């Protein structure tokens, strides 16, 4: 059964928990003030997922670059994986991007990140390139993934039933 998930815009009060999830999830976390900066730009779509008690359990930042939605980061707290939270965050952010004029989406992902690759493949992303030694800490390659047509109806299928 899906967790009861609510997806909403990220706010300043969420930054502590968002930073914590980022640090647990990535070997190269974002600098602490980066998420705060994302709240100040017009091109960033920053959302959080919360559980039924209002606890922040995941976050996403998508940059809207003209007609392209670039997934800058997405992470779900390890205690809440495999419950549809990542799908809910990605579909919600892409739907907002769509309504603001995005027609396609692009992202980079570590070659070894199979859970993320499976998530993106389910949404229809395809590998369109490799950025060799993209990651600074261990020089792993990034795969460049593209979703060439954002489809609102298809994206809605990934929303949690409680989403607004
Ligand atoms: C990638 C990531 C965001 C996915 O988050 P998630 O919340 O586990 O994603 P979902 O639950 O939507 O989907 C994951 C799997 O759970 C399954 N699932 C979804 N809802 C489910 C449910 N209610 N019960 C059982 N399984 C479920 C999905 O079908 C999917 O299965 P698959 O991987 O075998 O295809 C998460 O693994 C993460 O935070 N990783 C660390 C950070 C990271 O690498 N981010 C990506 C950077 S590019």
- Please state the pTM of the whole predicted model: 0.95
Catalytic residues: 108, 120
**Residues facing 145 on adjacent strands:** 107, 127
Percent of the chain having pLDDT more than 70? Answer: 96
**At a CB cut-off of 8 Å and minimum separation 6, what does 66 contact?**
101
- Which atom of ligand 1 is found nearest the CA of 109? 48
> pLDDT-derived band of residue 160, with 50, 70 and 90 as boundaries?
confident
| pLDDT, tens only, 45-83 | 999 999 999 999 999 999 999 999 999 999 999 999 999
- Ligand 1, atom 48, lies closest to the CA of 109
Query: Would you say the CB of residue 91 lies under 6 angstroms from ligand 1?
Result: no
Which run of H or E residues covers position 130?
strand 126-131
The CATH number given to 6-156 is: 3.40.630.30
How big, in percent rounded to 5, are the helix, strand and coil portions of the chain? 30, 30, 40
- Which whole number is the average pLDDT over 86-90? 97
Question: What is the rounded radius of gyration, in angstroms, for the C-alpha atoms of the chain?
Answer: 15
């Amino acid at each position: 059964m899906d967790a009861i998930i609510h997806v909403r815009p990220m706010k300043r009060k969420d930054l502590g928990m968002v930073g914590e999830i980022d640090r647990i999830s990535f070997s190269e976390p974002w600098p602490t003030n980066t998420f705060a900066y994302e709240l100040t730009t017009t091109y960033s779509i920053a959302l959080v997922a919360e559980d039924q008690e209002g606890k922040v359990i995941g976050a996403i930042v998508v940059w809207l670059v003209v007609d392209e939605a670039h997934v800058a980061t997405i992470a779900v707290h390890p205690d809440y994986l495999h419950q549809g939270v990542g799908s809910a965050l990605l579909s919600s952010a892409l739907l907002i991007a769509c309504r603001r004029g995005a027609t396609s989406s692009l992202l980079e992902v570590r070659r070894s990140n199979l859970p993320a690759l499976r998530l993106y493949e389910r949404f229809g992303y395809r590998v369109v390139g490799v950025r060799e030694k993209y990651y600074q800490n261990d020089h792993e390659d990034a795969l460049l993934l593209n979703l060439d047509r954002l489809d609102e109806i298809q994206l809605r299928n990934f929303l949690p039933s409680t989403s607004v």
